[in-house]
Structure 1
Amino acid sequence: MDSTLLKGLKVFQYLVDAREPVGVSALANQLGLPKSNVHRTLSTLVAAGYAIRHENGSYEATLLVWEQGMKVIKRNQVRRAAIAFMHVLQRETTETVNLVLPDGDDCLYVHQMSADAPMRISSTTGERAPAIMTISGRVMLAFQPGYSERARHLYAAHSPQPPFLLDDLLQDIEHAKKDGYAFSASHFRPGINSMAGVICGQNGLSVGAIAVAGPKERFTEEKMLALVQPLLSACTGIRQALGG
C-alpha cells in the first residue's frame, strides 16, 4: 500500500466532505498529519484542478470532483439499464422513485425521478446511508452471502444504537429474501412510507434496488400493496437488461 497516496486521499476526502473552506492547520489537526505534508498535498490538488486556494489561505474542492463523478455514474451499467424502467414506474406510482446501489456496508442514491404531486419526498442524489437504516439497503442485504450474520454485525457495530429492534431488521430482510421486496411504514422517516425491490445480477446477488417513497397520507399501505407487481416488474426488467 502506498502510504503517501493514502494520506493524500484522506486530505482530498476531507476537502470534499467539508461544508466550508478549510485551512492547512485545521486540516492537519483533524487528520493528525504534519502541516508540511498537508500543504504539499493541497498544492498538488490545486495544480491538478481539484482544489482552489482562497486569498485567506483556505482551500476547498472544485466542481471538477463533481464532473469526474458524473462520468463514473453515467457509465454505470445498472443505472443505464434502470432509467427506462424507472420512468415507467414513476408514471404508474406518481411518487418519487430512486435507484440505490450497494457500496460496502452502505447504500448510495444514484438516480432519482421526483413525484408529480406536491410534498415530494427527496433523497439527495449522491447521498449515502447505512444499509440497515433504509428499506433499500435491507432488500439488498437479503441477497448477499451470509446476509443474516452480516445484518447482525452491522446492527451491533452501528453507533449510536439503531432506533429499532434487531428482530425487526431481520424480519424485513427475511421478507425481502422470500418475496424480493419489503415495505417501510414510517420506520425511517416520520410520516413517510416506502417500498423497495431488489435488482439481482446474473449470479443472483444484489446489484441495486428500486425504492418508491411518499407521504403516508397519500402513499398508503394499500397503495403500496397495489404497486408490488409494477415494482417487481421493473426490477425484473432491469435484471434482464443486464443480462440476468
Structure 2
Amino acid sequence: MESTIVKGVNVLELLVRSRGSVRLSVIAEELKLPKSGVHRLLGTLIELGFVQQDADSGRYSTTLKLWEWGQNIIADHPAKRAAAPYMQELHRLTQETINLLVLDGDEVLFLDKILAARPLRFSTQPGSRALAVMTAPGKAMLAHEPDAEQIIQHSIATRPRAQGLDPRQIMADLEEVRTKGYTSANGSWTVGICSYGAPIMGRDGRAAAAISVTAPTERVDPAKDAQIVEALLYTCARIAETVGEL
C-alpha cells in the first residue's frame, strides 16, 4: 500500500505535468484514488504552500514553491556552475541553441539552455526530459555508461517512441562517441533539426553531463558543421577541467 507521502508526491507530479489547473475529480481518476483522500492530500499541500486552489473554478494548481526549491538545487549543481561561462562562449561562436543535460536513468534532463537569436520552431525548456537513445547528447553520455546496452534494451522494450529502433545502430553511435568524442543526429528526434552532443567527462570515467548544439538543418553547411564540432569539443574539454576542480 502506498504511503501518504508517495500519494502526495504523485498528486504534485500530476499537477506539475498538467501545466494548468486541474479538477479534483480528474486528479482522483488519473491516480485511481478516492476523492475524499485526494481532497485531504490537496488540503495538506495547500497548507504547506505547494498547491493553490482557484476560488472561482475550484481547480488546483502548483505554486512557485517547487520552482523556488528547484532553483536553489540547480544553482549548486557542479556541471551547471562549471558550464555557464563556457556555454555563453559556445553560443557566441556558433550562434545556435546550446543545451546542458544530465543523464537520469534512460532519459536526459535539460538543466540549462541558451537560445539562438533565430530560435528553433521546436525547443525544449530546462526541466524537460527526453529519451537518451533518441538524442545526440543522450548517446554522448550513454557511451560512457558501463550498463549502456541494458539501458538501450530497456528503452526499446518499454518506451513506445523507442520501439523499432535498431540497438546495433545505437551501439555503433556510442562507439562513434568514444572514437570521435561526439555524435550528431539529423532529424532523428525532431524533423529538420541538427543536433550535436559531446560529454563532459568526470573523474570516474563517466559523463558528468553533456552539451548539445542544435540548429535547423538549412543553417548547417559543411563549414558550419566543422565549426560546431570544433567549438563543442573544446567547450566540453574546458568544462570537464572545471568540473574536476569543484
The amino acid across from 2:25 in the alignment is S
Measure how far apart 1:48 and its partner are. 1.3
CA contact (8 A) 2:49 2:65 kept: yes
Question: Is 1:135–2:139 an aligned residue pair?
Answer: no
Contact in 2 for aligned 1:202/1:243 (Cα 8 Å): yes
> Could you say what the CA RMSD is over the residues aligned between the two structures, in angstroms?
2.0
Pairing 1:40–2:17 present: no
Cα distance in structure 2, aligned partners of 1:83 and 1:120: 24
Counterpart-to-counterpart distance in 1, 2:215 and 2:63: 34
Q: Corresponding residue for 2:244? A: 243
Give the gaps of 5 or more residues in structure 1: none
- How far is the alpha carbon of 1:228 from its aligned partner? 2.1
Correspondence 1:86-105 to 2 at 5 A: 86-105=87-106
Instruction: State percent identity of aligned pairs.
Output: 36
**Is the contact made by 1:185 and 1:194 (CA closer than 8 Å) also made in structure 2?**
yes
Output the CA distance in 1 between the equivalents of 2:114 and 2:172: 29
Q: Which amino acid aligns with 2:198?
A: G
Check the 8 A contact 1:115/1:121 in 2, yes or no: no
2:72 aligned partner: 71
TM-score, normalised relative to structure 2: 0.91
Equivalent residue number for residue 195 of structure 1: 196
In the alignment, is the contact (CA less than 8 A) between 2:106 and 2:152 conserved in 1? no
Length, aligned pairs only: 244
Cα distance in 2 between the residues matched to 1:156 and 1:118: 34
Comparing 28-37 and 156-165, the one that deviates more: 156-165
Q: 1:47 to 1:221 in 2, by over 3 A?
A: farther
Describe the superposition over 1:45-92 as per-residue Cα deviations: whole angstroms up to 9, x where unpaired.
Answer: 111111111223221111222222111111111001001111111111
Contact 2:155 2:162 in 1 (8 A): no
> Does residue 1:170 correspond to 2:171, yes or no?
yes
Q: Which moved more, 1:218-227 or 1:101-110?
A: 218-227
Q: Name 1:49's counterpart in structure 2.
A: 49
Q: 2:84 aligns to what?
A: 83
Q: Is the 8 A contact 2:156 2:165 kept in 1?
A: no
Change (3 A) 1:160 1:194: closer
Secondary structure of the residue that 2:218 maps to in structure 1?
coil
| Structure-1-length-normalised TM-score | 0.92
Aligned to 1:206: 207
